[in-house]
Amino acid sequence: MQVQEIKLDEKLDFQDEDLDEISILKDFGLEEDEAQTYVGLVRLGSVKASKICNFTKIDRVRTYKILETLKNLGFVTSTLSSPIIFSANDPESTLKKIILKQKQKVVDLEKNISKFLKILSHLKLNESQIELPKLTIISNRHNIYDQMIKLIEETTDEVYIAVSSSDIIRMYYTEIPETIKNALKRNISIKLMSDSELLTKQEYVKRLGFTSFKIVTLPSSGRLLCNKLQVLMSNNTSPYSNKNLDKESAMITNSEDIVNNMNSFCGFLWESSKEILVNNKNNKKTKKSQKQSTVLLIDDDQDAVDIFSDYLEIKGISTVEKCTEAKNALKMFKQIRPDVVFLDIMMPEFDGFQVLEQIRKIDPDASVIIVTADFSLETKKKLDSVHPTDIIYKPYDIKQILKHLNLIRRVFYYMLNYSIDLSILIWEKNQVGSVYASVIGIPTIRYATIRYMDKSKY
């Protein structure tokens, strides 16, 4: 065995890791009472077993067993005298020896891998004359998406994809879009079916490379993919969040009966549903009439931030800044001075109430829209006290979001078309009927109140 010198770092930063000597020794293979006994010996020096018992409060029988174990592991030595005296071996040299042993075990394991594979290659396995169908259960959304990619890649002619609109949005942030585009280049017929909500999210369908899709009534919010050889079926999917990934599961099988039945079912859905052509027209006039506005999204859920950001950009808000750590939110707010802030409440370290309070100190007139899934009475009272510009409850209501986007667009329409520095006081009503105001612009005119606007212009 090769001897390798190991240098232990003498500079320890106790602020980085909340570990004590017992926890560290447990990482070296000791049980808690064994670690306590060894540390006791280090502190006491050479002593009898009875003194160790008194120090560690471990009974005598167990102490003798522990000391025997520590001797075998190389942590402790004992005398041949009567009574027996126990001593702790030097900690540094002892731990170095353990590390060397573990390294040698890793080397041996790596060698055994090749030996094991070589042995298997010489074994003759009895092949069954009848190929039995396979059924595999997959958990975790990421693993499910990996299997969906594999199924599409292995398709040679036609594949049905029946998924919810929310799942299509989540797919956009995976390798699935690229897989679909490659399959379409190979002239694979991909038949996409989804719920009616996808009518308002056709941009995602277009980005996936589809020119059309069909609206069907799905039996659940799960997933169904099938080609001529395999079927993937998933249970209900969770909302736009990363927090329940492990709770999602799916079944994939090559059972001929199930594959044929699911293809027949998907074929029936496809033939009996209405085809929707993806709108490729761009409203250039609208784009020219809009001044660039800035939105800051503050939410610790990366998945929710990405989806919300992408949707805002699709709807014409081209400058969307994202922040997933509340501690960085104020710094970003000072740097970009956004026109609107969408702020989550439930976040680690600092909650949304604290962030909103600090934003108000920086800019009392800032437009801050609270985003939350908390409907509790206590939260509603807190929200009343901090006076947010408005509140949006999760899961996101597209109509609510569009209302705020239209509000931003109307303001910048006036600023652009009148070409003046204008402070605009806009009065709106929120969900509970209370009136709020938000000031946007540079105050060269004290107030210009706009109560009604012709929405057909924008």
DSSP one-letter string for 68-126? HHHHHHTSEEE-SSSS--EEEPPHHHHHHHHHHHHHHHHHHHHHHHHHHHHHHHH----
Query: What is the per-residue pLDDT for 436?
Result: 32
Q: What's the rounded Cα separation, in Å, for the pair 121 and 119?
A: 5
pTM of the model: 0.42
Question: Residues 134, 139, 142, 146: what is their CA dihedral angle, to the nearest 10 degrees?
Answer: 0
Question: What tokens were used for 38?
Answer: 């060894």
Q: ω before 395 within 30° of 0 (cis)?
A: yes
Query: What is the per-residue pLDDT for 410?
Result: 56
Query: What is the per-residue pLDDT for 12?
Result: 46
DSSP β-bridge partners for residue 47 = 86
Written as tens digits, the pLDDT of the chain (458 aa) is 444 454 444 444 444 455 688 888 888 889 999 999 999 999 999 999 889 999 999 998 899 999 999 998 889 999 888 888 999 999 898 888 888 888 888 888 888 888 888 888 777 655 555 567 889 998 888 889 899 999 999 999 999 999 888 788 778 778 888 899 899 999 999 999 988 888 877 877 887 788 889 988 876 677 899 999 999 998 766 554 455 667 788 899 999 999 999 999 899 889 888 888 886 544 444 344 444 567 888 888 887 787 777 777 666 665 778 888 888 888 888 888 888 888 888 887 778 888 888 888 888 888 888 888 888 888 888 888 888 888 888 766 666 676 666 665 555 454 444 433 333 333 333 333 333 333 333 232 222 223 223 333 33
Query: What is the per-residue pLDDT for 446?
Result: 26
Question: What tokens were used for 282?
Answer: 């761009």
CB proximity list for 330: less than 8 A, separation 6 or greater: 355, 358, 359, 362
Query: What is the per-residue pLDDT for 253?
Result: 93
CB proximity list for 351: less than 8 A, separation 6 or greater: 326, 345
The class that CATH gives domain 284-457 is alpha beta
Are 326 and 355 in contact, with CB atoms under 8 Å apart? Answer: yes
Query: What is the per-residue pLDDT for 450?
Result: 30
Task: Write down the architecture of domain 135-277 according to CATH.
Answer: 2-Layer Sandwich (3.30)
Strands 448-450, 340-344: pairing is unpaired
Are 352 and 325 in contact, with CB atoms under 8 Å apart? Answer: no
CATH 1.10.10.10 for domain 21-93: yes
Q: Angle between the 352-362 and 326-336 helix axes, to the nearest 10 degrees?
A: 20
Are 159 and 228 in contact, with CB atoms under 8 Å apart? Answer: no
Query: What is the per-residue pLDDT for 165?
Result: 82
Burial class (CB in 10 A: 0-12, 13-18, 19+), 354: middle
> What are the residue ranges spanned by the domains of the chain?
21-93, 135-277, 284-457
